[in-house]
Protein backbone atom coordinates (compact mmCIF):
# COMPACT_ATOMS: atom_id res chain seq x y z
CA UNK A 1 0.00 0.00 0.00
CA UNK A 2 2.82 2.37 0.91
CA UNK A 3 4.45 1.49 -2.41
CA UNK A 4 1.30 2.48 -4.26
CA UNK A 5 1.12 5.71 -2.25
CA UNK A 6 4.78 6.48 -3.05
CA UNK A 7 4.12 5.87 -6.71
CA UNK A 8 1.22 8.31 -6.62
CA UNK A 9 3.12 10.94 -4.62
CA UNK A 10 6.16 10.79 -6.91
CA UNK A 11 4.30 12.17 -9.90
CA UNK A 12 1.88 14.38 -7.98
CA UNK A 13 1.44 18.13 -8.01
CA UNK A 14 0.87 20.08 -4.80
CA UNK A 15 -2.82 20.28 -5.60
CA UNK A 16 -3.00 16.51 -6.09
CA UNK A 17 -1.27 15.88 -2.79
CA UNK A 18 -3.80 18.11 -1.08
CA UNK A 19 -6.66 16.18 -2.70
CA UNK A 20 -5.18 12.86 -1.67
CA UNK A 21 -4.68 14.05 1.89
CA UNK A 22 -8.35 15.13 2.10
CA UNK A 23 -9.39 11.76 0.74
CA UNK A 24 -7.29 9.85 3.28
CA UNK A 25 -8.71 11.97 6.07
CA UNK A 26 -12.18 10.99 4.89
CA UNK A 27 -11.18 7.31 4.95
CA UNK A 28 -9.84 7.72 8.49
CA UNK A 29 -13.09 9.32 9.62
CA UNK A 30 -15.02 6.44 8.04
CA UNK A 31 -12.89 3.92 9.94
CA UNK A 32 -13.38 5.76 13.22
CA UNK A 33 -17.15 5.82 12.59
CA UNK A 34 -17.23 9.60 12.36
CA UNK A 35 -18.75 8.91 8.93
CA UNK A 36 -21.10 6.03 8.25
CA UNK A 37 -20.12 5.72 4.58
CA UNK A 38 -17.07 6.19 2.36
CA UNK A 39 -19.21 8.48 0.22
CA UNK A 40 -19.58 10.87 3.18
CA UNK A 41 -15.81 10.76 3.65
CA UNK A 42 -15.16 11.43 -0.01
CA UNK A 43 -17.55 14.40 0.11
CA UNK A 44 -16.21 15.64 3.47
CA UNK A 45 -19.79 16.30 4.53
CA UNK A 46 -20.92 17.89 7.78
CA UNK A 47 -24.57 18.11 8.81
CA UNK A 48 -26.80 19.52 11.49
CA UNK A 49 -30.46 20.02 12.29
CA UNK A 50 -31.34 23.73 11.92
CA UNK A 51 -34.81 23.42 13.40
CA UNK A 52 -37.53 20.79 13.80
CA UNK A 53 -38.14 20.59 10.09
CA UNK A 54 -34.93 21.81 8.44
CA UNK A 55 -31.66 19.97 8.02
CA UNK A 56 -28.42 21.38 6.63
CA UNK A 57 -25.55 19.48 5.00
CA UNK A 58 -22.38 21.22 3.82
CA UNK A 59 -19.50 19.97 1.67
CA UNK A 60 -16.28 21.79 0.85
CA UNK A 61 -16.12 22.61 -2.86
CA UNK A 62 -12.70 21.16 -3.64
CA UNK A 63 -11.12 19.60 -6.71
CA UNK A 64 -12.04 16.12 -5.42
CA UNK A 65 -15.68 16.72 -6.37
CA UNK A 66 -15.19 18.63 -9.63
CA UNK A 67 -16.22 17.65 -13.12
CA UNK A 68 -13.81 18.27 -16.02
CA UNK A 69 -15.08 21.90 -16.17
CA UNK A 70 -13.70 22.54 -12.63
CA UNK A 71 -17.13 22.95 -11.04
CA UNK A 72 -19.05 20.64 -8.70
CA UNK A 73 -20.02 17.41 -10.49
CA UNK A 74 -23.78 16.92 -10.98
CA UNK A 75 -23.48 13.47 -9.42
CA UNK A 76 -21.89 14.98 -6.33
CA UNK A 77 -24.66 17.56 -6.02
CA UNK A 78 -27.17 14.71 -6.35
CA UNK A 79 -25.35 12.79 -3.61
CA UNK A 80 -25.35 15.83 -1.33
CA UNK A 81 -29.10 16.24 -1.90
CA UNK A 82 -29.86 12.55 -1.35
CA UNK A 83 -27.89 12.57 1.91
CA UNK A 84 -29.45 15.82 3.17
CA UNK A 85 -32.99 14.66 2.40
CA UNK A 86 -32.51 11.08 3.61
CA UNK A 87 -30.79 12.15 6.83
CA UNK A 88 -33.61 14.54 7.67
CA UNK A 89 -36.15 11.75 7.24
CA UNK A 90 -34.10 9.20 9.20
CA UNK A 91 -33.42 11.44 12.15
CA UNK A 92 -37.15 12.30 12.35
CA UNK A 93 -38.39 8.68 12.25
CA UNK A 94 -38.88 6.49 15.32
CA UNK A 95 -36.17 3.87 15.78
CA UNK A 96 -38.47 1.10 14.51
CA UNK A 97 -38.71 2.66 11.04
CA UNK A 98 -36.33 3.26 8.17
CA UNK A 99 -36.70 5.13 4.88
CA UNK A 100 -35.57 4.42 1.33
CA UNK A 101 -35.47 6.95 -1.50
CA UNK A 102 -38.01 5.90 -4.11
CA UNK A 103 -37.75 8.92 -6.36
CA UNK A 104 -35.67 12.06 -6.71
CA UNK A 105 -36.04 15.03 -9.08
CA UNK A 106 -33.28 17.61 -9.42
CA UNK A 107 -33.15 20.89 -11.34
CA UNK A 108 -29.62 22.18 -11.84
CA UNK A 109 -29.76 25.98 -11.86
CA UNK A 110 -26.27 27.47 -11.60
CA UNK A 111 -22.60 26.50 -11.45
CA UNK A 112 -21.39 24.94 -8.22
CA UNK A 113 -18.47 27.28 -7.56
CA UNK A 114 -17.12 29.00 -4.43
CA UNK A 115 -15.81 27.60 -1.14
CA UNK A 116 -18.59 25.25 -0.14
CA UNK A 117 -21.98 23.87 -1.16
CA UNK A 118 -24.77 24.06 1.39
CA UNK A 119 -27.93 21.96 1.10
CA UNK A 120 -31.06 22.68 3.12
CA UNK A 121 -33.80 20.06 3.21
CA UNK A 122 -37.35 20.33 4.55
CA UNK A 123 -40.23 17.89 4.90
CA UNK A 124 -43.20 18.80 2.67
CA UNK A 125 -45.47 15.88 3.47
CA UNK A 126 -45.65 12.93 5.88
CA UNK A 127 -47.83 9.85 5.95
CA UNK A 128 -47.46 6.37 7.48
CA UNK A 129 -45.80 4.99 4.37
CA UNK A 130 -44.41 7.97 2.51
CA UNK A 131 -42.59 11.24 3.10
CA UNK A 132 -41.96 13.93 0.48
CA UNK A 133 -38.99 16.21 1.06
CA UNK A 134 -37.61 19.24 -0.76
CA UNK A 135 -34.03 20.49 -0.84
CA UNK A 136 -32.18 23.54 -2.16
CA UNK A 137 -28.43 23.78 -2.68
CA UNK A 138 -26.69 27.15 -2.29
CA UNK A 139 -23.16 28.39 -2.84
CA UNK A 140 -21.26 30.98 -0.74
CA UNK A 141 -22.81 33.96 -2.54
CA UNK A 142 -26.31 32.56 -1.68
CA UNK A 143 -27.09 31.75 -5.32
CA UNK A 144 -29.31 28.69 -5.50
CA UNK A 145 -27.52 26.11 -7.66
CA UNK A 146 -30.00 23.23 -7.48
CA UNK A 147 -33.54 22.55 -6.28
CA UNK A 148 -34.89 19.07 -5.69
CA UNK A 149 -37.76 16.98 -4.39
CA UNK A 150 -37.56 13.44 -3.07
CA UNK A 151 -40.04 10.71 -2.32
CA UNK A 152 -39.23 8.35 0.56
CA UNK A 153 -40.93 5.05 1.37
CA UNK A 154 -41.15 4.32 5.08
CA UNK A 155 -40.42 0.70 5.96
CA UNK A 156 -39.98 -1.29 9.19
CA UNK A 157 -36.38 -1.22 10.38
CA UNK A 158 -34.78 -4.63 10.49
CA UNK A 159 -33.18 -5.12 13.90
Q: Which residues lie near a copy of itself (CB under 8 A)?
A: 1-2, 4-9, 11-12, 16-17, 19-21, 23-25, 27-28, 31, 36-39, 42, 63-69, 73-76, 78-83, 86, 98, 100-110, 124-125, 129-130, 132, 134, 144, 147, 149, 151, 153
Q: Which of 48/111 has CB closer to a copy of itself? A: 111
Length of the chain: 159
Phi, psi of 11, rounded to the nearest 5 degrees: -95, 10
Phi, psi of 69, rounded to the nearest 5 degrees: -90, 10
Tell me the closest approach of the beta carbon of residue 51 to a copy of itself, in angstroms: 19
Tell me the closest approach of the beta carbon of residue 126 to a copy of itself, in angstroms: 10
Distance CA 62, CA 66 (A): 7
Q: Which of 11/51 has CB closer to a copy of itself? A: 11
Tell me the closest approach of the beta carbon of residue 15 to a copy of itself, in angstroms: 11
Judged by DSSP in three states, 124 sits in strand
Q: Which residues contact 1 (CB under 8 A, 6 or more apart)?
A: none
Q: Which of 49/109 has CB closer to a copy of itself? A: 109
Task: Please choose, from the candidates 102, 81, 68, the residue with its C-alpha nearest in 3D space to the C-alpha of residue 145.
Answer: 81
Amino acid sequence: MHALLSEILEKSTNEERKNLYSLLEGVKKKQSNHYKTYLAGYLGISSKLINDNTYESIIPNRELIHNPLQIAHGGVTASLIDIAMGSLVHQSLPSTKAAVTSEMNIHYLAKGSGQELRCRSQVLFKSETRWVVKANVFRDDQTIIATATGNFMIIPRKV
